[in-house]
Each structure stands twice: as structure tokens, then as C-alpha cells.
Amino acid sequence: MMPQRAANQVLAVGSAEELAEKILYQHELFGHTRFMGQFDMGNQPPARVEKAIDLLANKVAPIVRNALRK
């Protein structure tokens, strides 16, 4: 595992499950109700950025929402 993927690190990188875990970890610490992320558009092909946004909306967000409902 890359160190940046750990829940206690600031970068939002990793699998959908790892990112959801990180958001939930930070929610435990700070009680935040919103996640604001930034996408690096510089050298990324538009299709890759679109895929990242799609994964965030359709994989990560549902995991986080389901976990917070419990």
C-alpha cells in the first residue's frame, strides 16, 4: 500500500473503498458534512478526469452515505 493511501493522510488517492474509508475517518475526526476535492487537470486526459469524477459520484459517495446512515 502506498503511504498516501492511508486513512490518516491528506491526499485523496486510492481505490473507491480506500477513499471512502479516508472520508469516513476524517468525518470521525472533524464531523464534517461535505467533502471537497480537487482534480489535477494539468497533464490528465479528459477521459481520465471524467472517470475519476464518475467513480467519486457512483462508487465512493454511496459507500460513504451508507456508512453514515448506520
pLDDT beyond 80 at 4: no
Instruction: Give the contacts of 62 (CB within 8 A, at least 6 positions apart).
Output: none
CB neighbour class for 25 (10 Å; exposed up to 12, middle 13-18, buried from 19): middle
* Global confidence as pTM: 0.83
- Reported as a single tens digit per residue, the pLDDT across 13-31 is 889 999 999 999 999 999 9
Look over the chain and give the mean of its residue pLDDT values, rounded to a whole number.
89
**Predicted local distance difference test score (pLDDT) of residue 1:** 58
Q: Which of 2, 3, 8 has the alpha carbon at shortest distance from 21?
A: 8
